[in-house]
């Protein structure tokens, strides 16, 4: 899986020139969308299949600061998947390869009426792909 790269923009920094903490969560979402595309289930496909995936939980552990024009590489992997909830793990590194942030997010899968989807029965291809990644 190819890591996602994000170049820190000027507007993402605070008065001290340091990236505001809220942006790391945005980058996690960017990386998650990229991850889904890489596994063949981009958001357009999910929506066509009638799947929505709300965020249930997000957590960040900040290690080092980043500043304007730094390139942050974000690796995403499946931490846990049991068919109903997907737990992702994110590791963000600066250009020197130092970890700047670690995070997790949890997601559910719902139909367009907001009811939980049993992926194994209703979307077996998607279920198998996520299950495969969870067992790597």
Q: What is the set of domains in the chain, with CATH numbers?
A: 4-134 (3.10.129.10)
Q: How far apart are CA 121 and CA 116, in angstroms?
A: 12
Let me know if 61 is a catalytic residue: no
- Percent of the chain at pLDDT > 90 equals 96
Confidence tier at 84 by pLDDT (50, 70, 90): confident
Asked if pLDDT for residue 125 goes beyond 90, the answer is yes
* Given the residues 14, 34, 42, 61, the one annotated as active site: 14
Cβ burial of 114 (10 Å; 0-12, 13-18, 19+) is exposed
Report the side by side order of strands in the sheet with 55-62.
4-7, 71-81, 85-93, 99-108, 55-62
Asked if pLDDT for residue 136 goes beyond 90, the answer is no
pLDDT tens string 52-81: 999 999 999 999 999 999 999 999 999 999
Q: What is the mean pLDDT of the chain?
A: 96
Report CA-CA distances (Å) from 108 to 53, 56, 61, 66, 93.
5, 7, 22, 31, 27
């Amino acid at each position: 899986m190819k890591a996602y790269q994000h170049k820190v923009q000027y507007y993402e920094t605070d008065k001290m020139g340091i990236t505001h903490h809220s942006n790391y969560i945005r980058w996690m979402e960017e990386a998650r969308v990229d991850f889904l595309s890489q596994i063949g289930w981009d958001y357009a496909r999910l929506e066509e299949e009638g799947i929505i995936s709300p965020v249930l939980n997000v957590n960040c552990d900040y290690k080092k600061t980043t500043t304007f024009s730094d390139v942050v590489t974000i690796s995403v992997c499946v931490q846990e998947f049991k068919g109903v909830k997907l737990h992702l793990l994110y590791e963000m590194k600066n250009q020197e390869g130092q970890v700047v942030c670690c995070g997790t997010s949890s997601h559910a899968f719902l139909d367009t009426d907001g009811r939980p989807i049993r992926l194994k029965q209703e979307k077996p291809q998607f279920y198998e792909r996520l299950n495969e990644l969870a067992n790597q």
